[in-house]
Chain A
């Protein structure tokens, strides 16, 4: 079962994937980087502490390649392996850097074959006029997602000021899309998200 997390840079994809893996009961991060230094996929095992330190950043963009983390959920009382794909943030417009473009193509390719797409939006920015508020990429994803059953929006950073207004705007504009409010600081919404995935995967 593959769940691809896509979104603009800095919306909190990496922190979410790490904390959610922990929430699902994993003891550490087991991660496959799509290309390590040698050009080969590379497996890493990290403590949650170290993962948060190394993979999450105040400065964007941080994630430069797809990172697959392994977690488990119980479906019909059977543990099912879940691959959570943390992907590089996608900006609007044509990326100047060829490596970044290549990663965008891989990310969308994985989204095409994924079991579920989770589209992450920084809810605290939706109502602002900042460059990071809902952009062309987000609008395109929402347009695609509303045609799919295997798609959900994470309204992220719900602990921040302005996020409730952002969530309200998202829900009014996209009434036909599942939107789950989440904060990876307080872990609000993790339970609902888990239920959403279990339902999507059974």
Chain B
């Protein structure tokens, strides 16, 4: 649950209501009036606003895309919380109440291939739909884009990147590498320029620092000022074997392949056996992609060596033999 929501916030009570239904403590007819408070306040208002401007994406449409991502339950919940919080803040603003001076800069920690960039892109679209950011585009950079080779070069490079990102999201991958060289490194200069930018462009820029969990924790410990400037922390867990099989199915569907039953079972078994043991660079969804690439090549070899005519079904189906022996 998001820590930044005031206690008793609407999303928290929605979750409570849903849990009470599941536990058999609340009948649907009693639950609905409680849920109604959450939805009529947040969704209906933005709905009305969006109606006039059809080219503007609705927050709901963005959240739908988020919901269609495999797994990531906790992240989805947090994003919904953030959305509720922003909606309420703008309603408060319209009602002439004081606006909370919340900044939304974020830390994404998780292994590569766990969905960080995808969620960052969705975050940009969501903030645009909520009218927090004017453009909502994503600029993805790493250390080399920010850090220069001589004095003054770094500040110049960083400022250029900031200019490109203004109005949208600046996503800094492997952000901890900025602190790698210690005090004398030019990375330090980049961090300082960024931190200043988070203050100066607070209404016009969302900065997301991303990287491996351990390294990000270390990075934050090197620079305590970052903690308060990046108040939102999203953790991207490694996908479960089930999630990964689902990802595999989606990737294959996009390319007009399907998994034979034995291949689906075998893949699930393989991924389950290895759950938690992948070398961290093997990287999750990316690793599944590699497995599939390999299987697609093996299937082609298998089919060309066959004597009988090939059906459409043959051409589409990956069998378990196409996978076997395919993981290093």
Answer yes or no: are A and B bound together in one complex.
yes
B54 touches A76 (CB 8 A): yes
A140 touches B29 (CB 8 A): yes
B300 CB within 8 Å of chain A: no
Within 8 A of B (CB), among A25-76: 38-41, 43, 75-76
A136 CB within 8 Å of chain B: yes
Instruction: Name A39's closest neighbour in chain B (CB-CB).
Output: B242
B140 CB within 8 Å of chain A: no
A79 CB within 8 Å of chain B: no
Given contacts A40-B242, A115-B61, A144-B40, contact A150 B47 (CB under 8 A): yes
Find B32's partner among A38, A76, A143, A149 (CB 8 Å cutoff).
A143
Given contacts A101-B22, A102-B22, A105-B18, contact A148 B39 (CB under 8 A): yes
A43 touches B253 (CB 8 A): yes
Of A91-99, A123-131, A154-162, A173-181, the one with at least 4 CB within 8 A of chain B: A91-99
Interface string of B29-73 (1 = CB under 8 A from A): 111110110111001100110010010001011011001000000
A137 touches B61 (CB 8 A): no
Given contacts A40-B246, A43-B253, A113-B63, contact A150 B44 (CB under 8 A): yes
B27 touches A144 (CB 8 A): no
What are 13 sample pairs from A and B whose C-beta atoms fall under 8 A apart? A75-B54, A92-B29, A94-B27, A95-B24, A108-B18, A112-B35, A140-B32, A140-B33, A144-B36, A144-B40, A148-B39, A148-B43, A148-B44
Query: A residues within 8 Å of B by Cβ?
Result: 1-2, 38-41, 43, 75-76, 83, 90-95, 98, 101-102, 104-105, 108-109, 111-115, 135-137, 139-141, 143-144, 147-150, 202
Chain B residues whose C-beta falls within 8 Å of the C-beta of A111 in the assembled complex: 39
Instruction: Name B258's closest neighbour in chain A (CB-CB).
Output: A43
Chain B residues whose C-beta falls within 8 Å of the C-beta of A112 in the assembled complex: 14, 35, 38-39, 43
A144 touches B35 (CB 8 A): yes
Given contacts A43-B253, A149-B47, contact A108 B31 (CB under 8 A): yes
B80 CB within 8 Å of chain A: yes
Q: 19 more A-B contacts (CB under 8 A) besides A115-B61, A135-B29, A149-B47?
A: A38-B268, A43-B253, A75-B54, A92-B28, A95-B24, A101-B21, A104-B21, A105-B21, A112-B43, A113-B43, A114-B60, A136-B29, A137-B29, A137-B32, A140-B33, A141-B32, A147-B40, A148-B44, A150-B44
Measured in the bound complex, the distance between the Cα atoms of B31 and A92 in whole Å is 11
B26 CB within 8 Å of chain A: yes
Chain B residues whose C-beta falls within 8 Å of the C-beta of A41 in the assembled complex: 246
Measured in the bound complex, the distance between the Cα atoms of B53 and A76 in whole Å is 13
Chain A residues whose C-beta falls within 8 Å of the C-beta of B47 in the assembled complex: 149-150
